[in-house]
Amino acid sequence: MFKQVSFTFFWVLFFGFVTNTEAQLIDVNCYNGSLLSDIEFLPTSNDFELIIDGEKQKSAIVNSIYNITADDDSLLISLDFSPIKKAKNIIFKASNNCSFKIKPTLPLLSQRILEQSVLFTSSNCFIKLDNILSLDNYVAGVIEAEVGSKQPFEYYKVQATICRTYVLAHMRKHEKEGYNMCDKEHCQVFKGKSMANIDITKAVDETSNSVIVDENLNLIVAAFHSNCGGQTISSADIWNKAQSYLQPVRDTFCINSRNAHWEKEVSKKNWFKYLNKKFPQIDSIKFPRNFNYAQPIRSKEFVVKDIKILLKDLRSDFTLKSTFFSVEDAGETLIFKGRGFGHGIGLCQEGAIRMAKTGYSYADIIHFYFKNVTIVNLSKLFFFKDLD
């Protein structure tokens, strides 16, 4: 599922000699997937340099409305509704961490507050909108969008380290589209500047430059999910790719949390219809009409009589919250009794939150869920990798 890029390779491509994540810039495609035809840009200070097709213009004027409008294969930029120029690309470049408001008006989408720089590009008669900001500002925005503003401080440090590791391992994920990350679940959810809880930016600052590596000093696939139901699962059982650090962990921290249990009823009619479709070559009449299925510890496959189905397939085919479930026969229906929420690989968020609340450090939490890993400073990692 995830392709690990060799550290040395992407270092050369993207880092140059930058050894700190405050200076590392990330290009995030915003409103990804929306066909944007008109956008308002509202600077909140005079610190934005306007660059049109590579040519510097006058600085942006605070509290003015700049409209960027798609015009065939170009963009038209207007200031307070008076046209300025047609162009292929338009940049508002911030001289520091100042923020701006952005509001798509065609289609009408919610306003966001972003920080640092923005690049508008004409793309197939629509507008491509990229926010270019420091890695740590991006990490803070992702944490707020992904886990909200009410989590314990030590847990924010866990998320910051995981998120930073993920980004640096996937800088080329959208190389073909011309940016580093999209703003959706496909990469990590990003809705703009983190503002709701000062602890988030503090946690990002305190862990700045920290990333997680395996025994070979490769950045790990920092997988996480909502709740493991009491046990995480090996990546080999879900993604068919074994990783030394993504091994099953017994987890008692999450078993009383919100997503620890779930139930779903499936009619037997639908169940047998499914079996007939999935196994046309098997006489499903031989499959017992009444059966129970138990999964006391996590398995890879559902096995009853001669039928074997990958649990991950059952999860997606019946939209179940997890692969960690048992089945009880209730006459006309089957009751799926499940534990946990998500794929179950790597860090269990609700368990990690509980650990943070009970006094474990962010490093303890990371080492509990990821085996044989080390939290290292990027600059030291560069030093060691360079000796290879």
Q: Which residues contact 205 (CB under 8 A, 6 or more apart)?
A: 136
Decide: residue 311, CB within 10 A, 0-12 exposed, 13-18 middle, 19+ buried: buried
Measured from the CB atom, the residue of 280 and 296 that comes closer to Zn ion is 296
- Token representation of residue 199: 């602890």
How many Å from the N-terminal Cα to the C-terminal Cα in the chain?
27
User: Which is nearer to Zn ion, 318 or 368 (by Cβ)?
Assistant: 368
- Smallest distance from Zn ion to CB 225, Å: 8
Which residue has 């391992």 as its token pair? 169
Q: Which is nearer to Zn ion, 104 or 230 (CB)?
A: 230
Q: With respect to Zn ion, which residue has the nearer C-beta, 94 or 355? A: 355
Regarding 183 and contact with Zn ion (CB under 5 A), the answer is no
Between CA 20 and CA 62 the distance in angstroms is: 31
User: Closest separation between CB of residue 322 and Zn ion, Å?
Assistant: 11
Out of 56, 186, 241, 308, point to the residue binding Zn ion (CB under 5 A). 186
Beta-carbon contacts of residue 290 (< 8 Å; ≥ 6 apart): 329
Looking at residue 342, the DSSP 8-state letter turns out to be S
Residue 167 is a binding residue for Zn ion (CB under 5 A)? no
Q: How far is the CB of 354 from Zn ion (least distance, A)?
A: 8
Residue 187 binds to Zn ion (criterion: CB under 5 A): yes
Report the residue from 348, 352, 353, 355 that binds Zn ion according to the rule CB under 5 A. Answer: 348
Q: Which is nearer to Zn ion, 186 or 273 (CB)?
A: 186
Neighbours of 46 (CB within 10 A): 12
d(CA 69, CA 85): 11
Could you tell me the smallest distance in angstroms from the CB atom of residue 348 to Zn ion? 3
Task: Indicate the residue among 21 and 32 with the shorter CB distance to Zn ion.
Answer: 32
Name which of 104 and 340 has its Cβ closer to Zn ion.
Answer: 340
Angle of helix 135-147 versus helix 153-169 axis, rounded to 10: 120
User: Segment near Zn ion (CB under 5 A), from 71-79, 106-114, 222-230, 288-296?
Assistant: 222-230
Q: Which is nearer to Zn ion, 167 or 182 (CB)?
A: 182
Q: Does 182 bind Zn ion (CB under 5 A)?
A: yes
Task: Report if residue 118 touches Zn ion, rule: CB under 5 A.
Answer: no
Quick one: angle between helices 198-206 and 153-169, nearest 10? 60
The answer to whether 38 touches 69, Cβ cutoff 8 Å, is yes
Among 135, 351, 362, 365, binds Zn ion (CB under 5 A): 351
Q: For strand 224-225 and strand 325-330, is the pairing parallel, antiparallel, or unpaired?
A: unpaired
Q: Which residue carries 């959706």 as its tokens?
A: 184
The least distance separating Zn ion from the CB of residue 170, rounded to whole angstroms, comes to 8
Contact pattern from residue 238 through residue 257 relative to Zn ion, giving x for each residue in contact according to CB under 5 A and a dash for the rest: -------------x--x---
- Are 323 and 200 in contact, with CB atoms under 8 Å apart? no
In angstroms, what is the minimal distance from the CB of 263 to Zn ion? 18
Contacts with Zn ion, residue ranges (CB under 5 A): 182, 186-187, 228, 251, 254, 348, 351
